[in-house]
């Protein structure tokens, strides 16, 4: 690579160090955190490579026709590779342990510590309070004057720039607020969204000399011994740090190096102390807000303080990668522990375009909605499958790579959904579809919105009033914002306590919906989410979800075939759906000790479906016969066939068609193979299942025999005298 040399002065303590660091010839755009990654050797050169060489030499020595020798050689090669991988894992764990040791003194959020530090500094508190009110108050005053003078639309761009600059001037805490607003088209006009989106990666930088000094101090070695080259200025600046592009001297790997802003802990600590004081006032005097505002502020502060520990962020990234990067359309950069500490984070360099830059994405031949849908599916897995989710997915943290993958960045703010709540959220959607508002109200106990001693009966009418209106459209047509706003109105009226994890879930999903609305104003998150919900309901053996599936499919003792068909249609849209997964949990539930009530319903409905298939097929064949053939059949001149009126015939033929469509959907699902019925046959051989089968066969036989007897005993048609 062509490069020029520059002299970078880095100060560690009172000592000034001069290093000659190669500089990138072409300065990358400041607004993008991306540059093309090149294939480079492994970080640990002797690890994986040694295993491969050993494998090759073994194979060369045994190239003959002796299959036993070849198998032995393959085993040796596999052992060699396994040992190399084990060495890599061991080295990586040791490097992570050393990084954790470098971060042992990382700050942890503590309200008591904030009180101790700032409680005795009234001058500083008053000064910061005045600064905040002056900045926000000046903007509010100008906005009010624009409204009075009729200049709201004319001055919108100027006010948006003013708000962005105010947030930037007030520091990291308010930058975080601005980042949240930049993804809410329901709250901010497009011009404001455009300006506030600059807070994601175009913030003011701090001096490079301070950044390089921080790297040396944190990693304990000179800069030129770590990197063979590093960008002379930041590629991007975020609320808590700034990012450089570098090449590791040891391996040649191109990496992103994030360095924390100096004095950041002091700045956010003071702001959170003031916000907690405001939260106490809101809890005491503002009755309309029933949630514990102080608890919400504390939860948010804990998340921000975790972002200040870059080793913790690296561990978050590793965990996220392990859980979700198994999908081919999701990319998570890896962490280099040897070059990571409390204030320095080194990870893979990722090339890509921010997800809200629609034109740039489309120029690469990609579609924004495809990437957003990938983000939604990944988010649903995060929220409802493993419960570990990215709580700060603003556009600066989501990149579209040239090969169409969605890259996740910045793992400082993570959260977890409690296991019980994951199933309850899916059940809540089922209850909403069924308009079962009593069950919806009871869900709030499981979701930890209400204490067990709260009576939910007054909440039911409020839910009914909102959702009866909202559900006039199909659920998939509902806007996520509509649901959030409607539930929000209910939450404000009753003694709900919204858990912190739920607030972060709402933020995560509204961000994704906001990104989608850039590309398609009619995009609906619930429509994109429904295939995942359908797959989970059909395949998950969780008892709570099994009960939710029964509630969805059975009503008033009748099976709703249309619901099953719709679930299969939607579930098939999820790439992970498999008919094999859908059949076995249902059988286990049906044959369980507590499944007698369900067995009665299933037997009844199976008899009805079998009758529809058998008699429907006969009836359809009869209807397609020529008139001459039909005239030879007994009772051919009757006004109805098989002792059924026209409505019954149509109903039976429709049920038969539904059964065939459902079977076709199962056949067309991923990995369908008739052999998936083998476990079912094995289950049916069990004593309990044989009894169920006997009852089922008996029911079908009785039903068909009754139909036949009814047909035989019918009175022959009366022939009019005139015809005689």
Provide the whole-model pTM.
Answer: 0.68
The mean pLDDT of 157-171, rounded to a whole number, is: 91
> Which 8-state DSSP code applies to residue 670?
B
For the chain, the residue count is 724
The residues with which 345 forms a beta bridge, in sequence order, are: 258
Tell me how far CA of residue 345 lies from CA of 154, 393, 658, in angstroms: 44, 19, 57
Taken in order 87, 89, 92, 98, the sign of the CA dihedral is: negative
Give the whole-angstrom CA distance, residue 538 versus residue 554: 14
Q: Is 167:174 a contact under the CB 8 Å cutoff?
A: yes
What are the strands of the beta sheet with 353-354, ordered from one edge? 330-331, 406-408, 398-400, 353-354
**What whole-number distance in Å separates Cα of residue 461 and Cα of residue 188?**
32
Closest CA to 601 of 657, 550, 648, 662: 550
Which one is catalytic: 201, 392, 436, 574? 392
Q: Is the pLDDT of residue 683 over 70?
A: no
Number of H helices, E strands in the chain: 28, 15
Give the CA count within 13 Å in the CB-facing half-sphere of 335: 28
Q: Per-residue pLDDT tens for 89-123?
A: 888 889 889 999 888 888 888 899 899 888 888 89
Q: How far apart are the first and last CA of the chain?
A: 106
Residues 6+ away with beta carbon under 8 Å from 566: 534
Query: What is the distance between the alpha carbons of residues 421 and 427, in angstroms, rounded to a whole number?
Result: 10
Query: Tokens 């790997």 appear where?
Result: 253
Taking only the tens place, the pLDDT of each residue in 610-619 is: 767 777 677 6
Question: What are the two backbone dihedrals, phi and then psi, of residue 330, each rounded to the nearest 5 degrees?
Answer: -120, 130
DSSP 82-133: HHHHHHHHHHHHHHHHHHHHHTTT-----HHHHHHHHTT-HHHHHHHHHHHH
Per the DSSP assignment, residues forming a β-bridge with 388 are 416
Count CB atoms within 10 A of the CB of residue 553: 19
Under the banding of pLDDT at 50, 70 and 90, the label for residue 645 is low
For 346, the token pair is 């080194």
Catalytic annotation on 392? Answer: yes
Q: Give the pLDDT confidence of 19-70 residue by residue, as tens digits.
A: 334 444 333 433 333 333 333 333 333 333 333 343 333 333 334 445 556 6
Q: Which residue has the higher pLDDT, 235 or 569?
A: 235
List Cβ neighbours of 262 (8 Å cut-off, separation of 6 or more). Answer: 206, 210, 214
Look up tokens 């804990």; give the residue: 302
DSSP string, 202-243: BPPP--HHHHHHHHHHHHTS-HHHHEEEE-SS-SEE-SSEEE
Q: Which DSSP category does 331 fall into?
A: E
Q: Which of 392-401, 451-460, 698-707 has the lowest mean pLDDT?
A: 698-707
Rounded mean pLDDT of 584-598? 63
Kindly give, in sequence order, each residue whose CB lies less than 8 Å from that of residue 585, ignoring residues fewer than 6 positions away: 539, 540, 541, 546
d(CA 503, CA 392): 12
Instruction: Specify which of 12-26, 91-105, 251-265, 651-665 reaches the highest per-range mean pLDDT.
Output: 251-265
Residue with tokens 């329901």: 186
Query: 133-160, pLDDT tens digit by residue?
Result: 899 899 999 999 998 888 888 899 999 9
Indicate whether 372 pLDDT > 80: yes
Instruction: Return d(Cα 655, Cα 668) in angstroms, integer.
Output: 20
More confident residue, 682 or 723: 682
Q: Do residues 429 and 533 touch, judged by C-beta distance below 8 A?
A: yes
Residue 182 to residue 110: CA distance in whole angstroms: 29
Pairing state between β 414-416 and 388-390:
antiparallel
Of 106, 125, 129, the C-alpha closest to 117 is: 125
Local structure of 649: helix, strand or coil: helix
CA geometry: angle at 289 spanning 285 and 292, to 5°? 90
How much of the chain, in percent, has pLDDT values that exceed 90?
18
């Amino acid at each position: 690579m062509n490069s020029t040399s520059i002299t970078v002065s880095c100060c560690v303590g009172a000592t000034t160090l001069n290093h000659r660091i190669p500089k990138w010839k072409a300065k990358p755009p400041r607004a993008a955190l991306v540059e093309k990654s090149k294939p480079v050797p492994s970080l640990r050169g002797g690890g994986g490579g040694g295993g491969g060489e050993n494998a090759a030499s073994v194979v060369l020595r045994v190239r003959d026709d002796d299959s036993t020798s070849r198998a032995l050689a393959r085993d040796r090669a596999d052992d060699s590779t396994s040992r190399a991988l084990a060495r890599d894992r061991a080295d990586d764990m040791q490097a992570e342990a050393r990084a954790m040791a470098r971060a042992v003194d990382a700050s942890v959020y503590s309200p008591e510590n904030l009180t101790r530090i700032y409680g005795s500094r009234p001058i500083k508190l008053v000064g910061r309070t005045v600064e905040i009110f002056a900045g926000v108050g000046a903007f509010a005053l100008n906005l009010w004057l624009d409204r009075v003078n009729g200049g709201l639309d004319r001055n919108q761009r100027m006010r948006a720039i003013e708000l962005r600059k105010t947030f930037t001037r007030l520091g990291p805490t308010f930058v975080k607020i601005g980042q949240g607003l930049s993804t809410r088209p329901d709250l901010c006009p497009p011009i404001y969204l455009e300006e506030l989106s600059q807070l994601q990666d175009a913030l003011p930088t701090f001096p490079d000399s301070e950044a390089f000094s921080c790297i040396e101090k944190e990693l304990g070695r000179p800069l030129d011994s770590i990197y063979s080259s590093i960008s002379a200025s930041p590629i991007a600046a975020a609320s808590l740090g700034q990012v450089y592009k570098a090449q590791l001297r040891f391996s040649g790997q191109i990496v992103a190096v994030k360095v924390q802003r100096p004095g950041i802990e002091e700045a956010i600590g003071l702001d959170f102390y003031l916000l907690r004081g405001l939260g106490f006032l809101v809890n005491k005097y503002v009755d309309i807000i029933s949630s514990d505002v102080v608890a919400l502020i504390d939860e948010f502060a804990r998340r921000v303080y975790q972002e200040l520990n870059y080793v913790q962020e690296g561990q978050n990234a590793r965990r996220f990668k392990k859980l979700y990067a198994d999908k081919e359309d999701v990319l998570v950069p890896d962490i280099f522990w040897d070059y990571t500490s409390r204030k320095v984070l080194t990870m893979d360099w990722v090339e890509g375009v921010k997800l809200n830059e629609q034109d740039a994405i489309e120029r690469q031949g990609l579609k924004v909605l495809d990437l957003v849908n990938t983000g939604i599916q990944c988010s649903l897995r995060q929220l409802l499958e493993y419960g570990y989710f990215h709580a700060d997915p603003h556009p600066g943290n989501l990149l579209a790579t040239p090969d169409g993958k969605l890259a996740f960045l910045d793992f400082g703010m993570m959260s977890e959904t409690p296991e019980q709540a994951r199933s309850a959220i899916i059940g809540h959607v089922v209850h909403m579809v069924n308009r079962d508002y009593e069950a919806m109200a009871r869900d709030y106990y499981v979701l930890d919105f209400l204490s067990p001693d709260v009576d939910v009966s007054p909440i039911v009418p409020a839910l009914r009033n909102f959702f009866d209106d909202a559900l006039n459209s199909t659920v998939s047509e509902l806007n996520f914002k509509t649901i959030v706003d409607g539930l929000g109105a209910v939450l404000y009226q009753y003694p709900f306590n919204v858990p912190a994890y739920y607030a972060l879930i709402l933020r995560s999903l509204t961000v994704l919906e906001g990104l989608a609305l850039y590309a398609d104003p009619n995009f609906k998150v619930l429509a994109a989410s429904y295939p995942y919900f359908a797959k989970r309901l059909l395949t998950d053996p969780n008892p709570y979800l099994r009960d939710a599936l029964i509630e969805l499919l059975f009503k008033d003792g009748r099976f709703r075939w249309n619901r099953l068909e719709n679930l299969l249609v939607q579930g098939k849209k999820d790439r992970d759906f498999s008919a094999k997964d859908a059949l076995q949990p249902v059988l286990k539930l049906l044959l369980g000790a507590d499944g007698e009530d369900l067995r009665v319903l299933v037997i009844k409905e199976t008899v009805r479906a079998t009758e529809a298939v058998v008699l429907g097929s006969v009836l359809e064949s009869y209807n397609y016969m020529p008139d001459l053939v039909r005239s030879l059949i007994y009772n051919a001149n009757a006004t109805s066939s098989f002792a059924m009126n026209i409505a019954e015939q149509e109903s039976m033929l429709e049920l038969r068609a539904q059964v065939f469509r459902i079977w076709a959907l199962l056949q067309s699902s991923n990995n369908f193979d008739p052999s998936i019925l083998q476990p079912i046959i094995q289950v049916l051989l069990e004593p309990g299942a044989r009894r169920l089968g006997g009852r089922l066969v008996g029911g079908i036989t009785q039903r068909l025999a009754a139909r036949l007897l009814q047909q035989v005993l019918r009175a022959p048609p009366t022939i009019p005298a005139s015809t005689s």
